[in-house]
Amino acid sequence: MDEVKKRFERLKRQLNRKFNKNKKSKNRTKNREHSQAVVKKKRPQPRERVVPIKEDIQAKSRLKEEQARKNPPTNKKRKKKKLTKEEFEKRKKKKRKESIIEIVKFMLPVVFFAIFVFFFILNTSPHMVDGDSMKPTLLNKDRVIVRRTKEPKRYEVITFKPPVKSDFQYVKRIIGMPGDLVWTEGTDLFINHQAESLPKSSEFSAASELPDGTIKINVSEDCLNQMSQLKKIPKGHYFVLGDNRNNSSDSRAFGLVDGQAIEGVVSFRFAPFDNIGWIK
């Protein structure tokens, strides 16, 4: 019996040892797995602190205040450099040149447009007055714009090539139009655009008996010879006079003007500048 007990105790010890060994090995493997899992897990990074916008603004304002305290603003005005007379005059000239250039730049397109309108659209041409025959309407060396038209009207100022030798064109006012009644008495020429028939020969010298609208003009022998043969001014011909009757060579001297010799009607005076305007 004693031997059996001893064997049983031995077996029990052996079993306990094996059981303890298995338990220890299992614990070791668990510990290893746990340590590996802990290593694999990353530590959470610390969150960045979000600073509100108001705090940034306040901080900036504080910095500005500190800088202003350290470096206070200087109230000293910069001293202007005194210019000499020569430098001052140079600057003046520069400013004048710049202003003139600006005016020229602005005026050039306007001038070109006006030239285009006058010479191409309105069919005009420039002309210079020579002499004082149209005084006071036009003076010597006045520069005018002539508008070319086919049929000028009564009392308009025209330019034309005279039927006498001359290097210049004449500037006169139309008094007699085609169809006007004309008659002569002595050295006097009578023109009327209102009457329907010539007055009787006995009424020629009586001014009170003359028809309304009759113009009496003292003419030369050449003009008298031409006009005495007519009862009406023929078609396409005009009788012209200068406004300055005492100093004008006009139809009183050379007779009627052919319409084909007329350049155009004087419409505008562009020089001198102090007398610019439309011509009537």
Residues belonging to the active site:
133, 172
Q: Which residues pair with 265 in a beta bridge?
A: 147, 158
Torsion region of 201: left, alpha or beta (phi above 0 gives left; psi -120 to 50 gives alpha) = alpha
> Which residues, 6+ apart, have CB-to-CB distance to 276 below 8 Å?
269, 270
Neighbours of 177 (CB within 10 A): 17
Q: How many CA atoms lie within 13 A of 154 on its CB side?
A: 9
Residue ranges of alpha helices (H) inside the chain are 2-40, 53-70, 85-116, 221-227, 251-254
Cis peptide upstream of residue 136 (ω within 30 degrees of 0): yes
For residue 10, the one-letter residue type is R
Distance of CA 54 to the CA centre of its chain: 55
Q: How far is CA 154 from the centre of its chain?
A: 38
